[in-house]
């Protein structure tokens, strides 16, 4: 193993031509080409800790692009900022046979600002590899010097489900007297470590990871990618020392970082008193101050200095009227403190992938929210949105472990899940033979459904109609009207009303008309996996009346379908009403959980049954 470790280190300084014999597309194993748009030939990182506040990371990526669908991967960017500097870049291109085509000269490596509406001192080195005949291979090597970091860089062995990986390896070189911690997940990597006179060298290598062909259906996440977290116990960032020994000690560092940033000006203090005067409960006061904060601030990402961790002073946010998640949350914290209400600045990992590893103390977070512990209840506030209801987190931050930053240090707690998530469509569709069908629909949504439909909040009628037109797979149709409202008393609920014209909804075949009554069906595609996680309980409900010309009668109505299991239930039925019209009902419910083995296979059969049922059609025939 010792010889391999030194080979990995030396590989970064060998010329690319030494590896040309490995780069032919024909040398890629067949199982790695299946379902793959690209293949990582090798991906390597050697991370050397020089001191608690300084490190060097050497990267090498060799990637074969198999077809045009991954043309965007010709763009490669290396981020750097005040604390990270890029000291070396080499890049090259090879043809399908692994033959060297060209090296990318430094004059074609751009240095650009991060942009995207951020206030930031971050920049990036940008490489755009030239267009070549597919398949071809790109290679990039670079070194980054890090001056201050909470964590060592983590490593994902298989980050993209549509890309196969031939080999992925990571190596950490740690001074012998520095405590090193790591946590591997879903890994099948070989591992070894050796000691030298001054360092301990830890190495992981994982090979032959085929593309997964990942399949998503709303809250489903079908695959788990192998990854490694790494950390040293003591760190230094921005000249401030901290400890990763416990969540409490990490929270103590964050508390010290934020200390003194919650001061408000006299005018702002007076405004807090005015807003809370006459309000009886702390909850009423908190809601009034939250609405005030939303009304006079906007979100702007700020990454200046140690802005990745340290919030802007509350007084500065108050004066400027904008801030990032840290600054806005700290401002809200200051408003509540002035009103005598305790709250806690909270670190959270936001987005679809909710899971942190609570057993491994490290900075696994990327967003800030506010926790307000009231008597008999806890309120959670998302401070970056001007429209978010009070005490509503949304799928971005709900139902996950978070770290409260308190005067006593960090405390791990969990944000609440949605109590009930649903999207219910009701309405009437008038099916016509010679002209377009017309209808009126209302979509009522709560929980996760409310969260998704918030994209309509604040939009004009024209914008809402465009979004409806682009978001529903109904063939040639248009939304003629649109209206959206939110009911935020208690559990937030939204209502989206729209009229629509469907030009090719009904297919005419002689004396017959046929159409699919399921307006919000989900498409079926094959998938193969052994583990599925459903993050949220969710219900999709349809109750739609279909009317048609009096001379037509239902010739064929799809039979009822009922399916149920621990993962959820599905109901599909069509009922003939007294006036001859048809009432279509459908309800798909999914239960939160992790399903493996036979349960996962049963879930796939269940979803396939629902998908096929959603595609069935009603046939009408003109009475003789």
CATH number at residue 499: 2.60.120.1130
Q: What pLDDT does 10 receive?
A: 37
* Domain-ending residue, one of 230, 257, 283: 230
235 in any annotated domain? no
Same domain assignment for residues 37 and 179: yes
311 in any annotated domain? yes
Give the tokens for residue 441: 């629909």
Q: What pLDDT does 16 receive?
A: 42
CATH number of the domain encompassing residue 329: 3.10.620.30
Same domain assignment for residues 154 and 78: yes
> Across residues 200-220, what is the average pLDDT?
76
606 and 566 in contact (C-beta within 8 Å)? no
236 in any annotated domain? no
156 in any annotated domain? yes
Burial of 30 (0-12, 13-18, 19+ CB in 10 A): exposed
Same domain assignment for residues 246 and 325: yes
Same domain assignment for residues 23 and 143: yes
Quote the number of domains for the chain. 3
* Domain-ending residue, one of 230, 253, 274: 230
469 in any annotated domain? yes
Same domain assignment for residues 384 and 487: no
Confidence of residue 7 (pLDDT cuts 50, 70, 90): very low
Same domain assignment for residues 253 and 209: no
Q: What pLDDT does 419 receive?
A: 81
Instruction: Quick: pLDDT tens for 286-326.
Output: 999 999 999 999 887 665 445 578 899 999 999 999 999 99
348 in any annotated domain? yes
Confidence of residue 561 (pLDDT cuts 50, 70, 90): very high
d(CA 348, CA 363): 10
| Residue 2, pLDDT above cutoff 50 | no
Same domain assignment for residues 154 and 287: no
Which of 204, 47, 79, 60 is closest to 137 using CA atoms? 60
Decide the pairing of beta strands 561-565 and 240-243. unpaired
Say how many residues make up the chain: 624
| Sequence-ordered list of residues with C-beta below 8 angstroms from that of 94, at least 6 positions apart, any chain | 20, 23, 100, 101, 136, 137, 138, 139
372 in any annotated domain? yes
**Which DSSP category does 418 fall into?**
P
Same domain assignment for residues 289 and 349: yes
| Residue 1, pLDDT above cutoff 50 | no
Same domain assignment for residues 317 and 193: no
Which of 244, 270, 242 is closest to 257 using CA atoms? 242
Decide the pairing of beta strands 367-374 and 123-128. unpaired
Confidence of residue 49 (pLDDT cuts 50, 70, 90): very high
Q: What pLDDT does 17 receive?
A: 42
d(CA 331, CA 337): 10
Average confidence score pLDDT of the chain: 88
* Domain-ending residue, one of 230, 265, 287: 230
Same domain assignment for residues 499 and 378: no
CATH number of the domain encompassing residue 78: 2.60.40.3140
Same domain assignment for residues 612 and 534: yes
Instruction: Quick: pLDDT tens for 334-372.
Output: 999 999 999 999 999 998 777 799 999 999 999 999 999
Identify the weakest region by mean pLDDT among 4-13, 91-100, 232-241, 386-395: 4-13
d(CA 151, CA 230): 7
Same domain assignment for residues 202 and 347: no
Identify the weakest region by mean pLDDT among 111-120, 248-257, 467-476, 513-522: 111-120
Domain hosting 246: range is 241-414
Give the tokens for residue 300: 């702007």
């Amino acid at each position: 193993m010792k010889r391999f470790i030194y080979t990995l280190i030396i590989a970064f300084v060998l010329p690319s031509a030494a590896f040309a014999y490995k780069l032919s597309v024909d040398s890629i194993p067949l199982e790695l080409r299946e379902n793959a748009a690209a293949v990582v030939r090798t991906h390597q990182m050697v991370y050397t800790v020089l001191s608690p506040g300084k490190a060097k990371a050497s990267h090498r990526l060799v990637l074969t692009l198999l077809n045009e669908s991954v043309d965007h991967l010709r763009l490669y960017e290396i981020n750097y900022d005040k604390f990270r500097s890029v000291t070396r870049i080499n890049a090259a291109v090879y043809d399908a046979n692994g033959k060297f085509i060209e090296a990318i000269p430094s004059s074609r490596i751009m240095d650009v600002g991060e942009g995207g509406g951020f206030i930031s001192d971050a920049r990036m080195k940008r490489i755009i590899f030239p267009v070549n005949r597919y398949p071809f291979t790109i290679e990039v090597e670079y070194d980054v010097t890090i001056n201050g970091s909470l964590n060592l860089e983590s490593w994902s062995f298989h980050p993209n489900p549509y890309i196969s990986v031939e080999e992925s390896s990571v190596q950490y070189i740690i001074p012998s007297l520095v405590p090193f911690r790591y946590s591997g997940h879903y890994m099948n990597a070989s591992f070894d470590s050796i000691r030298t006179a001054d360092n301990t060298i830890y190495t992981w290598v994982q090979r032959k990871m085929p593309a997964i062909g990942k399949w998503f259906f709303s809250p489903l996440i079908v695959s788990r990618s192998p990854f490694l977290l790494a950390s040293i116990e003591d760190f230094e960032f921005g000249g401030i020392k901290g400890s990763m020994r416990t969540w409490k000690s990490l929270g103590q560092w964050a508390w010290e970082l934020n200390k003194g940033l919650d001061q408000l000006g006299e005018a702002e203090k007076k405004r807090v008193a005015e807003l809370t005067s006459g309000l009886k409960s702390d909850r009423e006061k908190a809601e009034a101050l939250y609405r005030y904060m939303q009304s006079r601030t906007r979100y702007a990402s700020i990454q200046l200095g140690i802005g990745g961790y340290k919030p802007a002073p509350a007084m500065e946010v108050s004066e400027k009227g904008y801030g990032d998640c840290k600054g806005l949350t700290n401002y809200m914290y200051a408003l509540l403190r002035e009103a005598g209400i305790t709250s806690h600045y909270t670190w959270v990992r936001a987005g679809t992938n909710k899971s942190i590893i609570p057993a491994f103390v490290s900075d696994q977070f990327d967003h800030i929210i506010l926790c307000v512990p009231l008597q008999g209840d806890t309120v959670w506030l998302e401070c970056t949105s001007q429209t978010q209801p009070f005490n509503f987190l949304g799928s971005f931050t709900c139902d996950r472990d978070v770290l409260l930053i308190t005067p006593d240090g960090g405390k791990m707690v969990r944000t609440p899940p949605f109590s009930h998530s649903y999207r219910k469509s009701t309405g009437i569709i008038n099916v016509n033979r010679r002209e377009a069908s017309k209808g009126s629909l209302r979509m009522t949504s709560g929980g996760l459904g409310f969260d998704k439909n918030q994209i309509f909040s604040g939009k004009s009628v024209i914008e809402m109609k465009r979004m409806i037109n682009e978001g529903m797979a109904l063939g040639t149709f248009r939304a003629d009207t649109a209206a959206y409202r939110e009911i935020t008393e208690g559990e937030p609920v939204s209502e989206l009303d729209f009229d629509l014209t469907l030009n090719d909804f009904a297919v005419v075949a002689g004396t017959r008309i046929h159409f699919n009554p399921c307006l919000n069906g989900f498409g079926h595609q094959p998938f193969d996996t052994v583990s599925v996680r459903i993050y949220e309980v969710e219900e999709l409900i349809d109750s739609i009346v279909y009317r048609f010309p009096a001379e037509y009668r239902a010739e064929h109505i799809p039979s009822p379908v009922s399916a149920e299991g621990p993962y959820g239930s599905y109901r599909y039925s069509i009922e003939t009403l007294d006036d001859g019209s048809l009432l279509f009902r459908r309800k798909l419910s999914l239960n939160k959980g992790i399903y493996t083995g036979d349960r996962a296979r049963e879930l796939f059969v269940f979803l396939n049954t629902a998908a096929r049922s959603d595609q069935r059609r009603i046939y009408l025939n003109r009475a003789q």
